[in-house]
Amino acid sequence: MTRITIIGAGNMGRGIGTRLAAGGHEVQVLAPTAEHAAALAGELAGRGASVTGGGLNEQISGEVVVLATPYEAALEFAKSRGGELKDKVVVDVTNPVDWTSFDRLVTPAESSAAQEIAKQLPSGTRVVKAFNTTFAGTLVAGEVADHDLDVLVAGDDADAKDTVAGLVRSGGMRPIDAGPLRRAQELEHLGFLHMLLQDKLGSDYGSAVKFVSP
């Protein structure tokens, strides 16, 4: 069992929390509105897991911290609370989309959300990119069309990636090692493309990126 803190009680917090609860982990949900965190914690605890909820001002208890917020909020959290994250595994799930135009990513061309967040954290903090190509609703369900979800994982620390991969497996999904943290650029572009295709697919954010081989 791993202790995990999820920052954010929105759709991705619910989706990732559902998988972590299914894996039997101890989950803490923190959100700007403590009532929202408590409500999600109660929902997840109903699945038999140990889950607590509270406001962002509370102490972070997890060994793993999942930033399940929009990119701008995750970046601000890293700036304001980075000192508390030094010895933890920090998981960035964001896609840094320009929500006004919905036509580009807002990060510098040579960087990614994960790399920009890492710049705000103490040197040596282990940042992992994961879950950004999986939609929230599919995470709640744990599958799409009877297929397990593939979760692409990128990071520079092998042990941190192994930790996240273990969490993915415990929730009934398949982790795929996508390489070092700089590969987060490609993962975020893939996540954005997956979003852009939803109207054409007519899948209402219920599709999944799946890798199939013989």
Q: Which CATH number do you get for residue 79?
A: 3.40.50.720
Report the pLDDT value the prediction gives residue 189, as an integer from 0 to 100: 98
Mean pLDDT for the stretch of residues 179-188: 98
Residue 114: inside a domain? yes
Residue 209: inside a domain? no
Work out how many domains the chain is built from and give that number. Answer: 1
Residue 212: inside a domain? no
Residue 214: inside a domain? no
Report the pLDDT value the prediction gives residue 78, as an integer from 0 to 100: 97
Report the pLDDT value the prediction gives residue 4, as an integer from 0 to 100: 98
Residue 210: inside a domain? no
**Strand-strand pairing, 89-92 and 64-67:** parallel
Categorize the per-residue pLDDT at 124 as very low, low, confident or very high, splitting at 50, 70 and 90: confident
Residue 213: inside a domain? no
Mean pLDDT of the chain: 96
Which among 67, 63, 66, 57 is positioned nearest to 86, based on CA atoms?
63
Categorize the per-residue pLDDT at 3 as very low, low, confident or very high, splitting at 50, 70 and 90: very high
Domain containing 117: what range? 3-201
Residue 206: inside a domain? no
Mean pLDDT for the stretch of residues 166-179: 98
Categorize the per-residue pLDDT at 116 as very low, low, confident or very high, splitting at 50, 70 and 90: very high
Residue 102: inside a domain? yes
Report the predicted TM-score, pTM, of the whole model to 2 decimal places: 0.96
Percent of the chain residues past pLDDT 90, beyond the cut: 95
Report the pLDDT value the prediction gives residue 49, as an integer from 0 to 100: 79
Interior/surface letters 67-105, b for 16+ CB within 10 angstroms, e for the rest: bbbbbebbbebbeebbeebeebbbbbbbbbbeeeeeeeb
Question: Is the pLDDT at 48 greater than 80, yes or no?
Answer: no
Report the pLDDT value the prediction gives residue 46, as an integer from 0 to 100: 78
